[in-house]
Amino acid sequence: MESYKLTDLCYYVGVNDRHKSLFENMIPLSNGVSYNSYLINDQKKVLIDTVESPFFEGLLANIHSVIGDAELDYVVVNHVEPDHSSGLLMLKRIYPGMQIVANKKAIEMIKGYYGIEDGYIEVKDGEVLNLGTKNIQFYCTPMVHWPEVMMTYFVEDKILFSADAFGCFGALNGAVIDKDMDLEIYYSEMYRYYANIVGKYGLPVQNALKKLSSLQIDMICSTHGPVWSQCVNHVVEVYDKLSKYEAQEGVVIVYGSMYGHTEQMAEMIARGAATVVKHVKLHDVSRSDSADIITDLFKYKGFVCGSPTYCGELYPGIASLLMKVETRGIKNRIFGCFGSFTWAGATMKPFSAFAEKMKWNISGTVEVKQTMSELQQDELFELGKNIALLTKN
């Protein structure tokens, strides 16, 4: 990658990571990821966020391509998570006079992670920093992903440097701005990114959207994925909807199964659901990645989960999935559950406890001993149909 001009003074200087297979060592990166940095080349030269340290050389080359041998005056740290800050120490060694512009919480974290003790400009919510001819302004947006997160607004150019917000997985394939690329993959990756990274923080995202609502924004420059220009309104709408946990009609059926009996139950539920809605997603918890399941749970209103009794408890893959769903705090889903057992059923109790924690009603259950009777097949079909119908309201 090279620097890429966004406006007369503003450049994209980020890098692609096509090497990492698991983001946060958990979430598959089948399309890679970008770590986005931006440079404002005013009288003061300002870098907005850095990149993960193994990619620092690429960032540095991109900076040099814009400012040559000139000094960097400031680096703004919108977010301290190491995918954006672990290049800081190397940057500071190369530009020792550079000042780190960050809020109080971020400065504490930077000191803790990197031992950089001085050279800070501490900024507060709403404060403006003059760069010579133009200005940047800071908006604290805590918990849009971490507590120190802020966004930086390039006032005259109407660009919002939004940290992780509006970001997505997917390395950039040549182009940087949305209008120059096929966006299909990035929209899909935005859902997966939101669900798995930001998903827990619906209320803070809503607060941030309200706080920023009076700004004229011509461009959103996130820390991951494309720069949004023609799609600004669309990505804001996507975030608004996701952070309210709004979802579309459709049913996600997730099951664990050792010998296929619980899987057969899932198939019957899917048959019933598919008579009502087109979006019916089946996930075998032992085969689908939980990141994809959670993404579907953000997309669709209906969730039917099934488990065999295993050592007197839920099947471990299902127990683990439910914990991840609980962590995300997903609201307002239409929930059903089903279970199977050989000699003593033990799945309905933990399913009930899960639904209670999520504040969801249970809209149907079926439990089968050993194998389905004809009556139970009908019950499962009806369960799928009923949940699907409820998602249509």
CB 151 within 8 A of CB 219: no
Q: How many contiguous H segments (helices) and E segments (strands) does the chain have?
A: 12, 22
For residue 214, give both structure tokens: 């009076």
Cα separation, 340 vs 203, in Å, equals 37
Cα separation, 276 vs 140, in Å, equals 45
Stretch that binds ligand FEO, among 76-84, 179-187, 241-249, 325-333 (CB under 6 A): 76-84
52 lies in the binding site for ligand FEO (CB under 6 A): no
Q: Which is nearer to ligand FEO, 79 or 283 (CB)?
A: 79
Using a 10 angstrom Cβ sphere, with 0-12 exposed, 13-18 middle and 19 or more buried, the burial of residue 68 is exposed
DSSP string computed for 116-148: --S-EEE--TT-EEE-SSSEEEEEE-TTSSSTT
Pairing of strands 45-48, 74-76: parallel
Cα separation, 17 vs 29, in Å, equals 10
Q: Which is nearer to ligand FEO, 13 or 387 (CB)?
A: 13
42, 49, 148, 164: which one binds ligand FEO (CB under 6 A) = 164
For residue 18, give both structure tokens: 């096509």
84 lies in the binding site for ligand FEO (CB under 6 A): yes
Give the residue from 92, 220, 240 showing the smallest Cα distance to 164. 220
Q: Which is nearer to ligand FEO, 75 or 280 (CB)?
A: 75
Minimum gap (Å) between residue 380 Cβ and ligand FEO: 41
145 lies in the binding site for ligand FEO (CB under 6 A): yes
Quickly count: other Cβ atoms within 10 Å of residue 80's Cβ: 25
Minimum gap (Å) between residue 265 Cβ and ligand FEO: 39
189 lies in the binding site for ligand FEO (CB under 6 A): no
Q: Which is nearer to ligand FEO, 164 or 296 (CB)?
A: 164
Minimum gap (Å) between residue 84 Cβ and ligand FEO: 6
Minimum gap (Å) between residue 24 Cβ and ligand FEO: 9
User: Which of positions 348-367 make contact with ligand FEO (CB under 6 A)?
Assistant: none
Stretch that binds ligand FEO, among 79-87, 123-131, 240-248, 320-328 (CB under 6 A): 79-87
223 lies in the binding site for ligand FEO (CB under 6 A): yes
Size of the site for ligand FEO (CB under 6 A): 8
44, 79, 92, 261: which one binds ligand FEO (CB under 6 A) = 79
Cα separation, 143 vs 391, in Å, equals 30
Minimum gap (Å) between residue 121 Cβ and ligand FEO: 22
Minimum gap (Å) between residue 52 Cβ and ligand FEO: 9
Q: Is 52 left (phi over 0), alpha (psi -120 to 50) or beta?
A: beta
User: Which of positions 259-318 make contact with ligand FEO (CB under 6 A)?
Assistant: none
49, 83, 189, 367: which one binds ligand FEO (CB under 6 A) = 83
Quickly count: other Cβ atoms within 10 Å of residue 101's Cβ: 26
17, 42, 81, 249: which one binds ligand FEO (CB under 6 A) = 81
Residues in contact with ligand FEO by CB under 6 A are 79, 81, 83-84, 145, 164, 223-224
